Amino acid sequence: MSDEHFPLHDAASAPDAKPAFEQAEQTFGMVPNLIRKMASAPALAEAYLSLNTLLQQTSMSPTEQCTLLLTVSRYHDCDYCMAAHSMTGRMTGVPDGVVDALREDRPIDDPKLEALRQFTHAMIEQRGWVDEATQQAFLDAGYTHPQMLEVILAIGLKTLSNYTNHIAGTPVDEPMAGERWTAPGA
């Protein structure tokens, strides 16, 4: 889609999105292109930012949150979010080996993170109808039943952004250009 349908808004062109722009600036130190695109529907931008804040309040560590976000974005082949979460993951201390494995859709060496990746993938692929064995493998890795619900929160958050980026053609922001990623076969 062209910018005609989904422009990169600013506060002047999308005054109803001003609260989202302010929150994004406060959260990210800038207004990412994702929020500028979402500003065509200010409620979407606000929902995304709210869910992002809620994910940070879960029991998942920053590395586990990054694992969730990259797993969902990789499954959805979202170039923008793969770049964004690769960059922020590395900035927050997620080991390069974890980020690289997630970008390449290969197993993570850490068994607990790998269980999180597999469970998240199964949740998306099976639309939440995950069998008992898959649930038990997640629990056996050290996760809890409430954390299964936190995985759903992350999937919801990323679905909002991944789908927006797909239809809006969101360009990668300059700060994340070094982490560009292209879906296989694209």
Query: What is the residue range of 82's domain?
Result: 15-177
Give the chain's domain count. 1
Q: Dmax of the chain from CA atoms?
A: 52
The string of pLDDT tens digits covering residues 155-170 is: 999 999 999 999 999 9
Residue 185 lies in a domain: no
Q: How many residues does the chain have?
A: 186
Residue 78 lies in a domain: yes
Identify the pLDDT of residue 184: 83
Please give the Cα distance from 134 to 44 (Å, whole number).
Answer: 32
Residue 143 lies in a domain: yes
Identify the pLDDT of residue 24: 92
Q: Where are the alpha helices (DSSP H) in 76-144?
A: 79-91, 96-103, 111-125, 132-140
Residue 67 lies in a domain: yes
The string of pLDDT tens digits covering residues 10-36 is: 989 998 999 999 999 998 899 999 999
Residue 184 lies in a domain: no
Residue 111 lies in a domain: yes
The string of pLDDT tens digits covering residues 122-149 is: 999 999 999 999 999 999 999 999 999 9
Residue 103 lies in a domain: yes
Say yes or no to pLDDT of 185 above 80.
Answer: no
Q: Which CATH number covers residue 63?
A: 1.20.1290.10
Least confident of 25-29, 66-70, 149-153: 25-29
Buried b (16+ CB within 10 A) or exposed e, 42-58: bebbbbbbebbeebeeb
